[in-house]
Amino acid sequence: MFDLTEVKYVKRIKVGSDNPARMCTPEEIDAATALLNRCLNDTPKGHILATEKSFAVLQMGEHQVVLQWIVYHVGFPRKPIWLDD
């Protein structure tokens, strides 16, 4: 079991598109997923503290667009030196 008192740094990682004016490319989604995987596997090892799951249904002209994204809150005992904000 992970003890929350050990968490000193939290990284927020968004995967998906939340802005209809600027849709995320597949490369940006892959980069966010790779960062999440690195946060969970590299040293210091992070732990998922919470997730935010969101969606929005928009009407753009005569088309209906659904935006979906998920935000992961990854906690660390200290800020990793390889992590750039």
- CA 72, 73, 78: angle at the middle one, nearest 5? 135
In a domain, 20, yes or no: yes
Residue 51 has pLDDT above 70, yes or no: yes
- The rounded mean pLDDT for the chain is 91
**Number of independent structural domains in the chain:** 1
In a domain, 39, yes or no: yes
For residue 39, give its domain range: 4-76
DSSP string, 19-73: -TTSPPPHHHHHHHHHHHHHHHHSSSPPEEEEEEEEEEEEEETTEEEEEEEEEEE
In a domain, 82, yes or no: no
What is the model's pLDDT at position 20?
79
Residue 85 has pLDDT above 70, yes or no: no
In a domain, 83, yes or no: no
Prediction pTM value: 0.86
- pLDDT by residue (tens digit) across 16-43? 988 878 888 999 999 999 999 999 999 8
- State the CATH number of the domain containing residue 38: 3.30.110
